[in-house]
Structure formats: structure tokens, C-alpha cells
Chains A and B, each alone.
Chain A
Amino acid sequence: MDLHRATVTANEQIMPETHVLDLASPGLAKAARPGQFVHIRCGPGWDPILRRPMSIFKIRPDGISVMVRAVGEGSTIIASSPLDSELDVLGPLGKPFTLDPSARRLAMIGGGYGVAPLVALAVEALGKGCEVVLMVGAATADYVFPADELPTDVEYAIATDDGTLGHKGFVTELLPRYLDWCDAVFACGPTPMLEAVARITRPARYGVAGAMRSEKPVQLSMEQHMGCAMGVCLGCVVMTRKGYQRVCRDGPVFPADTLVWEGSRA
């Protein structure tokens, strides 16, 4: 982890409001792992003051890429970075996804820009000979992550809220189809989606169905507003069985069974 001045070598819009930025930085390329993120400064001034966390979307030999959805002030500034401009990038930060060597069949589930870290993970997993299914959810067909950004070996399943492409409904409704098949589950997206993934994959305590649905490792990448991203401000915590833990340093990836939802301690 270090402070990098990374040159923007490509900036391509791949969906409405969504840009992929290639950042040149050998240091980041060498250190980055799927599931980690970078903390990017929104220009040289003090408004907006805080950096913005962005997942590592691709790891290239000479740098990394991030996929930025322009939703507000900071992300719009970053997404509109001109070619050859320099970004002030802190990273890589946080705990990466863990690929257990015994897990060969991986189910990944992403909502919105939550697909970003899963793409990096899918590339690494395919390189290790794993089979990967990636389920993504979006509001409408226009916002579905384009398949040509994915390695062809990934099995791609789509859900849209309005049914304009793929399954009509929540992306989590696709998960049961792959649950018996897979050895491990990885998810990143809005908190309600992650909570649904945790609920669907949680082994039932009683009954045959529960017993068959053996305990598969489920890793969830959580989101929270960040101040420092270095573990010092304690602004980014989520509730876990061990009390509040920091998304930036103890996460963003957490085993699903350690998380406590809606602030109630289980």
C-alpha cells in the first residue's frame, strides 16, 4: 500500500454514467489483489474533501482499472478524468477475496457496480482452472454489465428489475439454481442484496434441506462511507459477531457468517 500518482491511459464509457479508467502504475499492478480497493482523491481542492473508494476492477501488467459509476459529485469528477491526467491514488487497501484451493466451482453475484471486484476475481479464478458463474443484477437492460468486458469462459446470468433482459426480478433469485453446484459464493453490491445472499446461503438448522445445503463458504464485500480508508477514523464500521469492524481494514470482504444485519447483535 502506498500513495501513487497514476496516469489515466484510457477512459471509456461502458454503460450510462459508467466509465472504465485504466490507471498506469506498476506499483499498484504488482500489489493489487481481487477484492481490494483504492482510495482516489477528487481533484486537488478540498471540496469534495474526502477521497472515494473504488474497487479494483482489472489488474494489468502496468497498472489497474477501476469502473466508476458517476452517482454524485466525487464519482462524477473521477469518472470524467481526461486522458493523460494524473489521479492521486491510495492503495491497494483492504482484505482481498480468499480463493480456497479446494473450491473449484465458484458462484459470484454482483449488483450494480458491485460487479467490479468480481470481474478481477473471476479472471484470477479462471487462471487457476476454476469454473465461474457470474450473476449480475441491474435496474434495466441499459445498466447490465456488458458481456464483452468478461472473459468468455465465465458463465453469465442476468437479472433486471423490469425484465428488459434476463430474469425479471432480483439477482438473488438466480442464486438457488447454482447453490448445489458451487463450492463457494462471492458477492458484492448494495447491502440489502448482500443480506439476501447471506439469508439464502445460510445453512438451515433443521431439516433435510438444510443438511443438504452444507456450509459453503460465502464471502461478502461490504460498503460503507469512508473517511481515511486506513483504519484510523472508525467511520466505516459494520456490525459483526465480534462487535464493530472496519470495512476499510478488517474488510471490505467478510465471511457472511460473521456479519450481523441491521445493527442487531445475534
Chain B
Amino acid sequence: MHGLELPNPVLVASGTFGWGTEYQPLVDIQRLGAICSKGITVRPRDGNPTPRIAETPAGMLNAIGLQNVGLRAVVQEKAPIWARWHVPVIANISGESVAEYEQLAGTLDGVPGIAGLEVNISCPNVTDGGRLFADTPKSAATVTRACRAVSSLPLMVKLSPNVGNIVEIAQAVEEAGADCLSVANTLLGMVIDVKARKPYLANRTGGLSGPAVRPVIVRMVYQIASIVTIPVVGVGGVTCLEDALQYLLAGASAVQVGTANFVNPRTATEIIDGLEDYLTQQGIRDIAEIVGAARPPAARPAVSTTA
């Protein structure tokens, strides 16, 4: 990722690892590739009514509604903790307008403890009639450009899978100055309570995550990584080494572990161990050797060809 050297390619996903402190008693968090923080908004948010979680085969839906303490509390209370850590913390930001993204990115620029920004463009855009910024190449690029203009931090833009042509949006975001893409946020879904004959979640719809979404997102990473030149981070249903390898072979340079943290909080560190063993066993010196290896040779970007 431009300007940010990650110690390894296994990150933990936003909203599934809190502020990083919560899992400290269980997980050696300093070994992680990076921690993506809980989504941050300008003002503190209460989030949605309950129930906020539903289960579905090999997946879950959530409709948390971005409950968080707000920008000021993050700068004053969380960032000073992160500044003492080795593990890079990437702040995940969500705005309701372009101006809010600017305020978030601008305020976080240069704050010690914040190693990069993950721009979540998949939250409701109240200034544009309920559409998402991630919905069109134009609005996705506008947000990216606005953040780029006010921040010197490495910029990872998190795409929504709930769009017609994600490759088009990835290209627009790359052209607008993103250093990296995270692919993807949750898939919009719904569970109906058949006894009550109404949607189960109070918010009616929720975001699907977990192993159930993996094939969809692996496909998206495969498509996007063939077209863009910036690194892609695969996010969706990573539970073990094999899952992480699928993403790397599809063209991702790194992965994020999300829902699996709830099931086994040590998933990410176990994948890091597994990956080290795998590379040694396979005699691979640089992980770049396997990135995109599942794609047809012609489409692969020129990596080292000395072998």
C-alpha cells in the first residue's frame, strides 16, 4: 500500500475488531498486518434499534448502523493508544456528505497513531436521496478525490459489492487517487421471520458477511485485480489459510478477516502462522510470486520473471 509498509498481508476488518483494544487479552494484536478500526463518523452515532444481528447458513447479517463514539473522541482517546503500538491502525471513515468525508480525512491527517485511511463509501448518502457513494463511478471518485486533496495518509477505498459493475467503480476510484482498494463491504440482504411474517432485523435489511459471501467477493477481486494497477485487499469470508490463498491467487495483495474473529478471535494470527509455513514449504521467497497466479498468464501484471 502506497507509503505504508505492512508487516504481513493479514489485516482485521472494520467493525469486527472494535478499536483493537478489546481483543488484546486473547490475541497477540501486534502481530497483525494492520487493524482497520470501527467505522468513524463526524458526530457520535447511536446506531439502529435491535435486533441488529441475524444468522444465516455460514453467514450473518448485521444492521448496526455505524454506532460509534465520533471523530473527536477517536482523536482524543483512541489514537494516543494506537500511537504506542507497532501494529498499524487504519481509520475506517464514513460520511453522509462529501463535506463530511473531507472533514474526517482532513482532521485525521497527521494524527499520531493513524497509519492510513479506509474510506467506506457504502453508507447512506443523505445528501443524494438515499443513494450510496459507492453506487456510481462518479460519486465514488468524488469522495476519493475529496479525501486525497486533504490527506497525505495512504488511502484505501472500500467498495460496495451491491453494484452492477464493480470494475468500473474500481477504475474510477483508482483514477481519483486511491492508493489501494478493499473489496468489499457486506452484501445487502434480508431475513424474514416466518412466525411474525415480517423482516427479522429492526432495520429490515442488513449486510451479509462470513463464508457465505466468499465466492462472490473472490470473483470481484479476480475481476478488479486484472484491471487496476493499485493493490487490492480481499475482504469477505476469510476463515483460514486456504481462504486467504484463494484471494491472493485471485490477485489480492492482502486480506482482511472479519466475521471469523467472532468465531475464533485468533483466526488472523493463525493464518499468519500458516502463511509463513506455506511459503517456506513451497519455497516461495516473495509473496508477490503467488499474487494473481490463478489468473490467465496474459492478464497477469509483470512480476519478477527471473525464475
Residue numbers of A with Cβ under 8 A of B are 1-3, 41, 46-51, 88, 90, 224-238, 243-244, 249, 263
Name the prevailing secondary structure of the B interface residues: loop
Residue of chain A at shortest CB distance from B66:
A234
* Residues of the A chain whose Cβ atoms lie less than 8 Å from the Cβ of B62: 227, 233, 235
* Residues of the A chain whose Cβ atoms lie less than 8 Å from the Cβ of B26: 1-3, 90, 230
Is B259 close to A, CB under 8 A? yes
How close is B112's CB to chain A, nearest CB, in angstroms?
23
CA distance A237 to B67 in the complex (A): 10
Task: Indicate if the CB atoms of B265 and A50 lie closer than 8 Å.
Answer: no
Task: Indicate if the CB atoms of B67 and A227 lie closer than 8 Å.
Answer: no
Task: Indicate if the CB atoms of B263 and A51 lie closer than 8 Å.
Answer: yes
How close is A12's CB to chain B, nearest CB, in angstroms?
28
How close is B226's CB to chain A, nearest CB, in angstroms?
29
Residue numbers of B with Cβ under 8 A of A are 15-18, 22-23, 25-26, 38, 46-47, 49-55, 57-60, 62, 64, 67, 210-211, 239, 259, 261-266
Name the prevailing secondary structure of the A interface residues: loop
**Contact of B262 (CB < 8 Å), options: A3, A228, A237:** A228
* Residues of the B chain whose Cβ atoms lie less than 8 Å from the Cβ of A226: 53
* Residues of the B chain whose Cβ atoms lie less than 8 Å from the Cβ of A49: 55, 58-60, 210-211, 259, 263
* Residues of the B chain whose Cβ atoms lie less than 8 Å from the Cβ of A2: 25-26
* 11 intermolecular pairs with C-beta atoms under 8 Å apart: A3-B266, A41-B263, A46-B58, A48-B55, A49-B263, A225-B51, A225-B52, A228-B16, A231-B18, A232-B38, A234-B67
**Contact of B18 (CB < 8 Å), options: A51, A88, A230, A236:** A230
Additional 10 contacts, C-beta under 8 A, given A49-B259, A232-B18, A234-B52? A46-B58, A46-B263, A48-B55, A50-B262, A51-B262, A227-B62, A230-B18, A231-B18, A231-B22, A235-B62
CA distance A90 to B25 in the complex (A): 12
Task: Indicate if the CB atoms of B58 and A225 lie closer than 8 Å.
Answer: no
* Residues of the A chain whose Cβ atoms lie less than 8 Å from the Cβ of B266: 3
CA distance A49 to B26 in the complex (A): 20
**Contact of A230 (CB < 8 Å), options: B22, B211, B259:** B22
